[in-house]
Amino acid sequence: MKPVVLLIGRLPNVIGDVARQLDHLPIRWLGAHDPDEVRRQLDAEPRIACAIMGAGLDDKVRGELVGIIAARRPDICIHLKDRASGPEGLVPFVERVVRHELLEPHDAP
């Protein structure tokens, strides 16, 4: 079974572009663009392994979304992309997160 990742961003086409560019990874991608959509995805898909949020959303919305995820699904790690790397930094950021968090084996302590 593929791990499920919730991509959260300001524009639907950006999230779709990320999923298309990373379709070589064994990940099932879900997208969300606003608080209501995040709630729906969290309620509908119990197998979400992590949430990755782009930098295009303003800080108030990002904070609200972090609160929604943490309250509804405290089992999900939330990753926030930096703004300094710009829009072109989103795909490499998402790939690093999923490779490190979900795809690479981790040694037990």
Closest CA to 2 of 54, 45, 53: 45
CB 79 within 8 A of CB 52: yes
Give me the pLDDT at residue 1, please: 86
**78 inside domain:** yes
How many Å apart are CA 90 and CA 85, to the nearest integer? 8
- 85-101: pLDDT as tens digits: 988 999 999 999 999 99
Dig out the tokens for 19 from the structure.
């999923």
Boundaries of domain holding 76: 4-88
Write down the H helix ranges in 1-109. 12-21, 35-44, 59-72, 90-98
**CATH code of residue 58:** 3.40.50.2300
Q: Is pLDDT above 70 for 108?
A: no
**58 inside domain:** yes
**107 inside domain:** no
- 21-74: pLDDT as tens digits: 999 999 999 999 999 999 999 999 999 999 999 999 999 999 999 999 999 999
The proportion of the chain whose per-residue pLDDT surpasses 70, expressed as a percent, equals: 96
**67 inside domain:** yes
Question: What is the pTM for the complete model shown?
Answer: 0.92
